[in-house]
Amino acid sequence: MSEFHIVEARPRTDWVYDSLHALEVAVTQELLGEDQSVGAEWSRASYSSEVTSLKGLLLALPGKAPTDAVAGRFGLPEAPESPVEVLGALEFGLPTRDNLHLMDDVYIQVLRRVRREGIGTALWREARRIAAEQGRTATIAWSHHLAGAVSMPERVEPSTGVGHLPVDRGSLFAQSLGLQLAQVERESRLVLPVDPDLLATVRAEAEAMALPTYEVVSWIGPTPEVHLERVAELNRTLSVDAPTGDLDWQEEVWDGERVRLSDELTHRTGYSVSTLAIHAATGDAAGFTLIHVHNAYPHRPEQWNTAVAAPHRGHRLGLLIKAVNLQHLAAATLEARYVETWNAGENNHMLGINTRLGFRLHSVHGAWKA
Ligand SMILES: CC(C)(COP(=O)(O)OP(=O)(O)OC[C@H]1O[C@@H](n2cnc3c(N)ncnc32)[C@H](O)[C@@H]1OP(=O)(O)O)[C@@H](O)C(=O)NCCC(=O)NCCS
């Protein structure tokens, strides 16, 4: 058994993001067959920005805890200034603008050679303590798995009955902690380039229903000032309208300033291609979609938010803005090989649009609740 102790990383302890990245590369290669890490630059940027949530990174390090270490804001010794081997990591967020009851985005990774030695459980116990001390009554943790048809008893189903995960080390570990599977998300991929004729056909079909009632505008980079409030409104819509399964997820509080700050963070390490639909007569925000390209991984752009506001549904706006955005992506990002997107298994409308555009299921992600 390895002796270990748990520390917390301060946001600016630079080396920990390289170590976290190395761990992520190894674990994503093991779970998904390829490097699906988010990148050290992205982690550095993300952990240095706490505009909408406090972020925690707990690390399991070899040996006994130093007796002279300074305690950090979550009550654990702070990570040393110089690099040491990282045996395991637990990440979490504590939202500060909304969802104040939650500890979310919990993800635990442990080096393969030190598994089944209690490191994952020890990291989880510290997270539970921190959640309780911070007054958080619910926790959401994630697990990642390649998709595949699995029958009972080799599969675990969420309480919603939609989708399933294989019974593998990730789900067995989550169950050993007493977590319940609250929702299964699907990651789908669209191989690029998409046939330009398909995009043109889909676009023309959608425009026939949506124009001239709606106007569509696209941009590359941060949201133009004039559209900040519209994008904020559609992000708020997304936070309540996307199915959340059995998770206790509450409406997010968005304003133009939050969009600006979020853009500022994402554009430090990449850029976004966005398309917005506006109701021509009123100027109201009707629909929005955004694809993000990480500078470190331009071959795999990520389809993030897509939302159509309730009063504007049924005009093919979802299909229209996605087709237009993919046309812009094709012109902007020549290195892109595929687009990834994540949707709730219950989200039939969004999945229908994605399938029409050529997205195909690749991996599944468990949202576990405690
Ligand atoms: C899941 C993971 C974090 C577990 O870390 P760990 O340090 O090995 O976990 P622990 O030693 O604390 O295991 C606690 C319990 O989980 C269960 N468990 C963990 N791994 C298991 C496996 N491979 N097979 C069966 N049960 C397992 C067991 O009940 C275990 O208790 P036991 O060893 O006394 O039987 C680690 O395997 C990992 O990094 N996997 C890849 C990332 C991942 O899937 N994360 C999702 C977390 S929800």
Question: Which is the closest atom of ligand 1 to the Cα of 121?
Answer: 12
Same-domain status, 20 and 100 = yes
Q: Residue 204: phi, psi to the nearest 5?
A: -65, -40
Distance 122 CA to ligand 1 centre (A): 11
Q: Of the candidates 96, 111, 136, which is a domain's last residue? A: 136
Distance 135 CA to ligand 1 centre (A): 27
Question: Which is the closest atom of ligand 1 to the Cα of 117?
Answer: 11
Same-domain status, 208 and 132 = no
Residue 369 resides in a domain: no
Name which of 211, 195, 165, 210 is nearest 318 in CA terms.
210
Same-domain status, 196 and 131 = no
Same-domain status, 39 and 109 = yes
Tens of pLDDT, residue by residue, the chain (370 residues): 779 999 999 877 899 999 999 999 999 999 999 999 999 999 999 999 998 999 999 999 999 998 888 999 999 999 999 999 999 999 999 999 999 999 999 999 999 999 999 999 999 999 999 999 999 999 999 999 998 878 777 899 998 889 999 999 999 999 999 999 999 999 999 999 999 999 999 999 999 999 999 999 999 999 999 999 999 999 999 998 878 888 888 999 999 999 999 999 999 999 999 999 999 999 999 999 999 999 999 999 999 989 999 999 999 999 999 999 999 999 998 899 999 999 888 888 888 889 999 999 999 999 999 9
Residue 143 resides in a domain: no
Distance 169 CA to ligand 1 centre (A): 6
Same-domain status, 100 and 201 = no
Distance 18 CA to ligand 1 centre (A): 23
Question: Which is the closest atom of ligand 1 to the Cα of 366?
Answer: 48
Q: Of the candidates 136, 155, 174, which is a domain's last residue? A: 136
Same-domain status, 54 and 197 = no
Ligand 1 site-directed mutation target among 24, 37, 169, 365, most atoms within 8 Å of CB: 169
Specify the residue with its C-alpha closest to ligand 1, atom 41: 109
Distance 37 CA to ligand 1 centre (A): 20
Same-domain status, 232 and 302 = yes
CB-ligand 1 contact for 27 (6 Å cutoff): yes
Specify the residue with its C-alpha closest to ligand 1, atom 9: 120
Is residue 142 within 8 Å of 365, Cβ to Cβ? yes
CB-ligand 1 contact for 96 (6 Å cutoff): no
Ligand 1 site-directed mutation target among 28, 116, 139, most atoms within 8 Å of CB: 116
Q: What is the CATH number of the domain that holds 30?
A: 3.40.630.30
pTM (two decimals): 0.93
What's the 3-state SS for the chain? CCCEEEEECCCCCCHHHHHHHHHHHHHHHHHHCCCCCCCHHHHHHHHCCCCCEEEEEEEEEECCCCCCCCECCCCCEECCCCCCCCCEEEEEEEECCCCCCEEEEEEEEECHHHCCCCHHHHHHHHHHHHHHHCCCCEEEEEEEEECCCCCCCCEECCCCCCCCEECCHHHHHHHHCCCEEEEEEEEEEEECCCCHHHHHHHHHHHHHHHCCCEEEEEEECCCCHHHHHHHHHHHHHHHHHCCCCCCCCCCCCCCHHHHHHHHHHHCCCEEEEEEEEEECCCCCEEEEEEEEEECCCCCCCEEEEEEECHHHCCCCHHHHHHHHHHHHHHHHCCCCCEEEEEEECCCHHHHHHHHHHCCEEEEEEEEEEC
The predicted pLDDT at position 227 comes to 98
The predicted pLDDT at position 267 comes to 96
Specify the residue with its C-alpha closest to ligand 1, atom 18: 173
Residue 370 resides in a domain: no
| Structural domain range at position 58 | 4-136
Same-domain status, 359 and 210 = yes
Total tally of structural domains belonging to the chain: 2
Same-domain status, 201 and 284 = yes
Residue 25 resides in a domain: yes
Q: Whole-angstrom Cα distance, residue 370 to residue 358?
A: 36
Distance 20 CA to ligand 1 centre (A): 18
Output the six-digit token pair for 186. 């699907």
The predicted pLDDT at position 247 comes to 87
CB-ligand 1 contact for 59 (6 Å cutoff): no
Same-domain status, 83 and 198 = no
Residue 162 resides in a domain: no
The predicted pLDDT at position 152 comes to 75
Residue 147 resides in a domain: no
Residue 301 resides in a domain: yes
Is residue 105 within 8 Å of 365, Cβ to Cβ? no
CB-ligand 1 contact for 117 (6 Å cutoff): yes
Q: Of the candidates 105, 136, 167, which is a domain's last residue? A: 136
CB-ligand 1 contact for 173 (6 Å cutoff): yes
Same-domain status, 341 and 200 = yes
Same-domain status, 100 and 223 = no
Residue 14 resides in a domain: yes
CB-ligand 1 contact for 191 (6 Å cutoff): no
The sign one gets for the Cα dihedral 43, 49, 55, 59 is positive
Question: Which is the closest atom of ligand 1 to the Cα of 31?
Answer: 41
